[in-house]
Structure 1
Amino acid sequence: MHVEELTKFSQLFHRLNNQLGIILANAELLEAKAADEKSRTRAAQIVMGVIEALSTAKAIRSKLKTPE
């Protein structure tokens, strides 16, 4: 993979991580402020989904790095 392509992918992953971070922060806030158990459970599911998405993005990004 060319350096230019790696740079573009790196920028995309940076943007994705920023967006997922915003979603995660808001989901954690919803979870903490939820009035009932059903709402807390739904917010917790969002939190777990975002954490899994961040982990997946990290794994993909590590596969795209060039060998040293």
Structure 2
Amino acid sequence: MLSDRREFKAELVLDDARTDLAVLKLQNPPSGFQLSHSATVMIFASAIWFWLLAIRLASAKP
């Protein structure tokens, strides 16, 4: 749900129950839908991805 109460279906790309974080991909986003500062968002998303991967790898060790 967006701040204006519109709802969209989304695909779960990645989740981490330990940190209560998830990455979602909107299915059929509305036309003209844009994220501001998309380059910054992509860099931030990549940083989160690697951080979550590190957490998963660390928790998998005995």
The normalised TM-score by structure 2 is 0.49
Larger CA Rg, structure 1 vs 2: 1
Structure number with greater CO (CA < 8 Å, separation at least 6) is 1
- Greater strand content: 2
When you count helix as a share of all residues, which structure comes out higher? Answer: 1
